[in-house]
Amino acid sequence: MISIAGTQTIASLSISQSSPTRSIHSTNSSHPQAARLSRRTPSIISAVPVPSHDQRRQCECHDLFKEIVPYVEAWRWQKETVERISASLARGEEPPNSVVLLQHSPVYTMGTRSSDAYLRFDKNHPPFELHQTERGGEVTYHGPGQLVMYPIVNLRQQKMDLHWYLRMLEEVVIRALWSSCSLRASRVDGLTGVWVGDSKVAAIGVRVSRWITYHGLAVNVNTDLAPFQNIVPCGLVGRPVGSVKQLLHTVNLSSAQGTRPSKAIDSDSPWFMEDATILDQVHQSLLVEFAEVFQMDLVAPVNNGPVTINAIVQEKNS
C-alpha cells in the first residue's frame, strides 16, 4: 500500500486484491479490473534494475488526473518548484520530491534543439498553442485523454545519470500498462519512449537543473490522435503513434476473431473498459509504479511554496 498523506493517512492507493483501489481523490471504481492492479510480472516486462533504498524518500503527490491544466501554468509550476527545492537544498534541508499527474488542453511543445522540419504547419500560425521549452527531444502533442506526469526528483538521492533516469521513466510506463490493462509494452533500442507493438504510446522528454528533474512523460490513453498528423511526433519518421484505448480495441477485435484463443473475453475484461475507467486505471497504476520504481512514499502536498498546482487549477476554474 502506498500512503497518500502528510503525518497521518488521509487516503491511499491500494494494490491489494481484497480491497477497491483508491486515489488521492478517493476515486473508487466498480470495474473488476480495479482489483487486479497487483498482477504484474516485471521480470518478464523489463530487465532494467530499479533502485533499492534502505529508507524510502517522500514525494509530494499532486493527483490532478481529471483536470485539464493549461501547459504554461504547469510549466511555470515546475520551474518554481525546482527553484524552491534548490533553495531548500542550499540551506542544508531535505525537501521532498514532487510529482504531478494531469491532462493538458491541446498544445504542441518543442524541445531546446527541436527542428522546425518536423512541423507540418506554419510555425507562426499553429493549429494549437506552440511552445519551445528547455526539455530534450523533438516536437510532441499534448491534449485531453493523455496522462502527463511531471516528476520533480532530486537525482542525488537516486542516481546521477540522466540515461538511467530516462530508462526508469520508461519502466514506470511499461509496468503501469501491464498492471492496468494487461498491455505488454517495451522499449526500442536507441530511442526514448514506450511502444506497444509498432505504436508509440508514451513520449518522454526531461530537463535536469542541478540534478533536479522536471518535464517528464506523457501516455496516450484515450487521446484524439488526429493532432499528431500535424507533426512528425518526436521526429520519428514512419513510426505511428497509438493510444491505450486504440490498442485495447485492436486486442478486442483480434480476440473476437479467434486470433487470441488463450485470452477469454467477457464483460469483466479490461478490453471492455469505458474511457473514464481506462483513464482512472492507468492513472492509478502510473502513481503506484512511479512510487515503486523510485522507492518513494507519496504524500499530500504542503501548500507552503510560491505556487501550488492545486492553486493553479482553482484559479483556472474560478
- Write the pLDDT tens digit of every residue in 82-125: 999 999 999 999 999 999 999 999 999 999 999 999 999 999 99
Amino acid at 41: T
Strands 194-196 and 199-209: antiparallel
Q: Which residues are catalytic?
A: 234
Q: Are 235 and 103 in contact (CB under 8 A)?
A: no
Amino acid at 262: S
Q: Please name which of 304, 313, 315 lies closest in space to residue 102, comparing C-alpha atoms.
A: 313
Distances in Å between the Cα of 79 and the Cα atoms of 74, 152, 160 are 9, 9, 20
| Biggest CA pair distance of the chain | 63
In this prediction, residue 302 carries a pLDDT of: 80
In this prediction, residue 206 carries a pLDDT of: 98
* pLDDT beneath 70: ranges in the chain: 1-54, 252-272, 303-318
C-alpha cell at 277: 475507467
Give pTM, 2 decimals.
0.80
Q: Are 15 and 23 in contact (CB under 8 A)?
A: no
Q: Please name which of 176, 159, 152 lies closest in space to residue 61, comparing C-alpha atoms.
A: 152
In this prediction, residue 309 carries a pLDDT of: 61
